[in-house]
Amino acid sequence: MNWSSDYSRSLGLAAPVEVSGVGLHSGATCCVQLRPSQTKGFFVGFLDEPHAPLVPLHPAQVRDTRLCTALNLNGRPLATVEHLLAALLGCGLTHVEIWLDGHEVPLLDGSALPWVEAMAATGLVDLGPRPSLQEVAAPITLQQGDSFVMACPAERPLLSAAIEFPQAAIGRQLFSLVLTPEAFVREIAPARTFGFRDQVDQLRAAGLIQGGGLDNALVCDGDQWLNPPLRFADEPVRHKLLDLIGDLALVGLPCAQVMAFRGSHSLHTQLAAALAAAPSCLTALSGGQELTNVA
Ligand SMILES: [Zn+2]
């Protein structure tokens, strides 16, 4: 599969894709069907209500961001949407229906790679030129304690994440890239979610992460990992970028420099909401005013 080097084309699925797996928090099995769509955007439907109107995704649907991004879709809950949405947005998909038979998107291996591989196996179709990405007219900054996210005007999507953990196995990590479908698939999609050994028992006792295990999350224990090898030396920060991309999918990919320092689903989804509400000027991705001071 040759992934595109930019986001200049509208893309859909050549045929439906079906993936099943266990939800991280519920432990329940869920089937997800990705179907070609006639309409631009990401839409959700539930297989037990096949005739109900499809719900277009929007940041206003976020209901919980403590351990994953969970949505309320016209009264129906849907948890852990971020890795699937990262795969759709990162790979450049623009027209997709997401159909589910449960309340939580399967975690699979904890990364976006199984979604990417399933779509690659089915193939994509070119639906013509893509409208320009949303430009950011003025910087947006959101802060929570010593964490922040910001989005600044830029000529192309340039994403950065930084994390800082006292555990020596993670420490300080920074990762930046110009986002393209091929860069997403190569650099971001394989990065798995991560957690901490001392939190696992607490979360299980609280009825959460019932579907979590050493095969779908990296587990950090101080200065070592319980389940090496890592796919990248800096896999945790790459996964933070994966989560950021998935949360931005609620509004769409902005043509902006986006930085998340110690980011979280809460901050990411607030940024998506701010972008949805922001005044923007749409110009061609490759044209318009030249910007300076873009690193
Ligand atoms: Zn994640």
In the annotation, is 239 catalytic? no
What whole-number distance in Å separates Cα of residue 100 and Cα of residue 31?
A: 6
Region 25-40: what's the mean pLDDT?
A: 93
- pLDDT the model gives residue 280: 62
- pLDDT category, 215, cuts 50, 70, 90? confident
Instruction: Say yes or no: 121 and 145 in one domain.
Output: no
Q: Are residues 220 and 173 in the same domain?
A: yes
- Considering the domain architecture, whether residues 147 and 273 belong to the same structural domain is answered as yes
Residue 38 sits in the same domain as residue 122: yes
| Ligand 1 centroid from CA 122, angstroms | 24
Rounded to the nearest angstrom, the distance between the alpha carbon of 12 and the centre of ligand 1 is: 24
2 in any annotated domain: no
CA 23 to ligand 1 center in whole angstroms: 13
In a domain? residue 197:
yes
Give pLDDT, residue 290.
34
The Cα–Cα gap between 132 and 192 comes to: 30
Phi–psi pair at 18, nearest 5 degrees: -125, 130
Q: Where does a domain end: 129, 152, 187?
A: 129
Residues 196 and 264 reside in one and the same domain: yes
Question: How many domains is the chain built from?
Answer: 2
More confident residue, 197 or 88: 88
Torsion of CA 289, 58, 93, 80, to 10 degrees: 130
What is the 243 CA–ligand 1 centroid distance (Å)?
5
Inside any domain, residue 76: yes
The mean of the pLDDT values for the chain is 91
- Span 69-92, mean pLDDT? 97
Ligand 1 center to residue 240 CA distance, Å?
7
Judgement on whether residues 41 and 72 belong to the same structural domain of the protein: yes
Residues 139 and 269 in one domain: yes
Write out the residue range of the structural domain in which residue 234 sits: 134-277
Could you tell me which residues are beta bridge partners of residue 254? 134
Within a domain: 54? yes
Q: Is the dihedral of CA 16, 21, 23, 24 positive or negative?
A: negative
- CA 113 – ligand 1 centroid, Å: 12
Position 81 in a domain: yes
Last residue of a domain, one of 113, 129, 145: 129
Same domain (yes/no): 52, 16: yes
Domain termination residue (choose one: 110, 129, 148): 129
pLDDT digits (tens, 9 = 90+) for 52-68: 999 999 999 999 998 89
Read off the tokens for 69.
């991004």
Cα of 4 to ligand 1 centre, how many Å? 24
Single out the catalytic residue among 25, 83, 95, 265: 265
pTM of the shown model: 0.92
Please state the φ and ψ torsions of residue 85, each to the nearest 5 degrees: -65, -35
Indicate whether 284 pLDDT > 60. Answer: no
CA–centroid distance, 162 to ligand 1, in Å, is 15
Q: Which CATH number do you get for residue 100?
A: 3.30.230.20
For residue 294, pLDDT beyond 60: no
291 lies in some domain: no
Dist. CA 83 → ligand 1 center (Å): 6
Length of the chain as a residue count: 295
| Residue that the structure tokens 């989005």 belong to | 151
Report percent pLDDT > 90 for the chain: 83
Q: What pLDDT is recorded for position 161?
A: 98
Residues 118 and 166 in one domain: no
**Within-domain flag for 269:** yes
CATH number at residue 205: 3.30.1700.10
- Asked whether residue 287 is domain-assigned, the answer is no
